[in-house]
Amino acid sequence: MEYALADHQYGKAETRLVRVYRDTDQHQIRDLNVSTTLRGDFADAYSRGDQAKVLPTDSQKNTAYAFALEHGVPDIETYALTLAMHFADEIEPVHAARVEVDEYAWDRVQLSGGDHPHAFVRAGQEVRTTTATVIGRGTEQRVWVLSGLRDLVLLKSTGSEFAGFLRDRYTTLAETHDRVLATSLTSRWRHAGPDADWNAVNASIRQILIERFSTVHSLALQQSLWEMGKAVLAAHDEVAEIRLSAPNKHHFLVDLTAFGLDNRGEVFHADDRPYGLIQCAVQREDAPAAGPAWDTPGSFAG
């Protein structure tokens, strides 16, 4: 035969699930978006439409709900790992399972008398993420866990330069020693192993990212990212690698001289597009191999 099924995977994407803990009057909630992806012995579904080895995506959704009740969601990493291991261990044709979970944060409502026990307000647009990948079963089983965040929007109103750059025929940009630097950060980090105090580690990393973005005097967004990534690895031995993807959300100083006004870094146009896009990976030199950890469904077709 001339054509090969070179690669394939399938799953249920974006199951929107809220888990409420109501064991005491002080409720807790976990607000999740769960996507499951299976790889394995599914070629017959493609070549012949034979579903005998295909676990319906509807069953995957049901499992996501049932596990949220049975096993709970102490943190999204544990939940994702438990769910991925289930598919890898229990569903015979599955060779590898990946579970991606986004979590939306909620704050407790604050009243004059303190926390409200069961009312919550969405904390922001920022999303906490995880991806758990499990390959094989039994003693052969291998596991990778990514944690991360996206849409963490940061801005410095000074302390950022951009100068001394390469110039070609098409370069017209003026150098600047004081600009607004703003980004909507996406970052994921790969854990060295499958166990950690996930909530604590991730909260610490988030704070380090914000702190380094803020305090590094930036000669380039590239430099800020490198310092942010390095600081995370320095503080957390359990992190093998961190990747950062940062749009440079341009804030252009508005020229008001035609109106007799001297705009010294006070009024900016926040532009939508285009934007710079700066990306880097910082890795511990003795990091274990990444394997398939970064091969998400979102990147399958480029």
Please name the helix (run of DSSP H) or strand (run of DSSP E) that holds residue 214, with its range, or none.
Answer: helix 198-215
Give residues 169-228 in contact with its own copies (rule: CB under 8 A): 169-173, 180, 186-188, 210-211, 213-215, 218-220, 222-223, 225-226
Among 200, 203, 235, 254, binds its own copies (CB under 8 A): 254
Asked if residue 285 binds its own copies (CB under 8 A), the reply is yes
Number of residues forming the site for its own copies (CB under 8 A) = 154
- Residue 236 known to be catalytic: no
Q: Which C-beta is closer to its own copies: that of 31 or that of 137?
A: 31
81 — phi, psi (to 5°)?
Answer: -65, -45
Per-residue binding string, its own copies, 56-85, x by CB under 8 A, is xxxxxxxx-xx-xxx---------------
Q: Find, among 92, 94, 1, the residue nearest to 47 by Cα.
A: 1
Asked if residue 127 binds its own copies (CB under 8 A), the reply is no
Q: Are 127 and 149 in contact (CB under 8 A)?
A: yes
CB of residue 74 to its own copies, shortest distance in Å: 14
Give residues 6-25 in contact with its own copies (rule: CB under 8 A): 6-22
Residue among 86, 191, 249, 250 flagged as catalytic: 250
CB of residue 197 to its own copies, shortest distance in Å: 20
- Residue 12 known to be catalytic: yes
Structure tokens belonging to residue 99: 């579970």
CB of residue 171 to its own copies, shortest distance in Å: 4
Among 71, 122, 177, 193, binds its own copies (CB under 8 A): 122
Among 85, 96, 145, 244, binds its own copies (CB under 8 A): 244
Q: Which C-beta is closer to its own copies: that of 197 or that of 266?
A: 266
Using only C-alpha atoms, the chain has a radius of gyration, in whole angstroms, of 23
Q: Go through the chain and tell me how many residues it has.
A: 302
Structure tokens belonging to residue 59: 């069953």
Per-residue binding string, its own copies, 137-176, x by CB under 8 A, is ---------x-x---xxxxxxxx--xxxxxxxxxxxx---
Given the structure tokens 């580690």, which residue do they identify? Answer: 201
Asked if residue 119 binds its own copies (CB under 8 A), the reply is yes
Nearby residues of 214 by Cβ (< 8 Å), 6 or more positions away: 154, 156
Rounded Cα gap, residues 266 and 253, in angstroms: 8
Q: Are 97 and 59 in contact (CB under 8 A)?
A: no
Rounded Cα gap, residues 132 and 82, in angstroms: 9
Rounded Cα gap, residues 110 and 33, in angstroms: 26
CB of residue 125 to its own copies, shortest distance in Å: 4
Among 89, 142, 268, 288, binds its own copies (CB under 8 A): 268
Residue 57's SS3 state is: helix
Stretch that binds its own copies, among 75-83, 135-143, 193-201, 269-277 (CB under 8 A): 269-277
Asked if residue 289 binds its own copies (CB under 8 A), the reply is no
Rounded Cα gap, residues 55 and 97, in angstroms: 12
- Residue 57 known to be catalytic: yes
Asked if residue 103 binds its own copies (CB under 8 A), the reply is no
What region, left, alpha or beta, does residue 160 occupy, with left being phi > 0 and alpha being psi -120 to 50 degrees? beta
The residues that are catalytic are: 12, 57, 250
